Amino acid sequence: MDTEVPVSAPARTDEPVLDVRDAHVSFGPKPVLRGVTVRILRGETVSILGESGGGKTVLLKVMLGLLPADPGSARLLGVDLAGLSDDALIPLRKRCSVVYQGGALFSGLDVGENVALELREVLRLPAAEIAARVHWALDAVGLGDTNPRLQPEELSGGMKKRLAVARAIAPHPEVIFYDEPTSGLDPLNSARILHLISELRERLGVTSVVVTHDVHGACAISDRILFLSGGRLAFDGPPDGFLASTDPRVAAFCASVAGPTPAGVA
């Protein structure tokens, strides 16, 4: 990744980028989040861990304003998300990117167009800048040598994930949300993606929120670990503390997902 990053990394500050307070979410009679409070500062990389169905993705949607906290509150980039319409969310969402679990690549567009689409259609950037950003983003994720005319289905699983990350970073977002960025990848590609997330933080100062099952990967790249259990926040602290936690829920989770540390991450 030797392409010059076209933006400077802002200093980490105490400014909260995300501020979720006492968030409750229920689907019918079933509570999914039960009073979760999370504060994420600018420039932080925070991983959200937890068992399946523990509320990780729901919390992510609350942070993005896709699900309301009721009761509770959520602020993204200083804006209260309560009651915001889709239209009102647009300016906020333009400052954020999401890397979806399945990649959510545009199946009808080639590699280059996948990255360029939002730059052209949403940000309305001039063609020269779009070309520069596409080149930079693909290079940043290690796809600089990949034929930009390839279709997504011609890529491997790891390349698809990296393309999804390239698409997310090209608009120069302030916050990137990753939903299971390493799921379905082999250890080598998992390590590559995690290394990329870490490097983006270092080079761009991007605030990163990572939802994952990957304990070792999360601990390797994160400033902080959030652990959700039964819809409640069972742990909020540094990776070392998480791995050393004596909380039975944390210990049980770590034991259940124990595996080798991804090469090149630690």
Partner 1 sequence: MNPRRRLGRGSSGVGTALAAALLGFALGAVPAAVAADAAPPPGREARPAPPLSSAPLSSAQPPSALSSAPLSSTQPPSARASSAPRLPQEGSPPASRWKVQASAVGAWSLPVGLEGDRGDVEVRRAGFDVLTTYEVSSRLSVGFDVGAERSTYRFSDRDRVVAGVGRLFEEGTTAYVTPGFKVTLDDNWSYGAAVTVATGFAPGADPADGTTASVMATVRRRLSPSLALMVGGLYATNIEDDPLIVPIVVVLGAGDGPGGPVRFEFRGAGVRAAYPLSPRVSVAAAVRYMNRGFRMASDDRMSEGVFRDVRVPLSVEFDLHPTRSVTISGAVGVNAYADLRFEDRRGNEVVEAQADVGFWFALSATFRF
The single residue among 12, 94, 172, 213 that binds partner 1, judged by CB under 8 A, is 94
- Name the residue type at position 180: E
By CB under 8 A, is residue 107 in contact with partner 1? yes
Q: How far apart are CA 179 and CA 4, in angstroms?
A: 27
With binding defined as CB under 8 A, does residue 83 bind partner 1? no
- Binding range to partner 1, per CB under 8 A, among 83-91, 142-150, 228-236, 247-255: 83-91
DSSP-derived pairing of the beta strands 16-27 and 30-41: antiparallel
CA distances in angstroms from 120 to 20, 61, 138, listed in the order given: 32, 26, 16
- Rounded to an integer, what distance in angstroms lies between the CA atom of residue 193 and that of residue 176? 14
Among positions 1, 122, 127, 251, the unique one binding partner 1 when judged by CB under 8 A: 122
Strand pairing report for 45-50 and 224-229? parallel
Cβ closer to partner 1: 41 or 106?
A: 106
Among 71, 102, 126, 264, binds partner 1 (CB under 8 A): 102
Total number of residues that touch partner 1 (CB under 8 A) = 22
Residue 244 main-chain phi, psi, to 5 deg: -95, 0
The only residue of 66, 131, 150, 243 in contact with partner 1, by rule CB under 8 A: 66
Binding site for partner 1 (CB under 8 A): 66, 86-87, 90, 93-94, 98, 100, 102, 104-109, 113, 117-118, 121-122, 151, 167
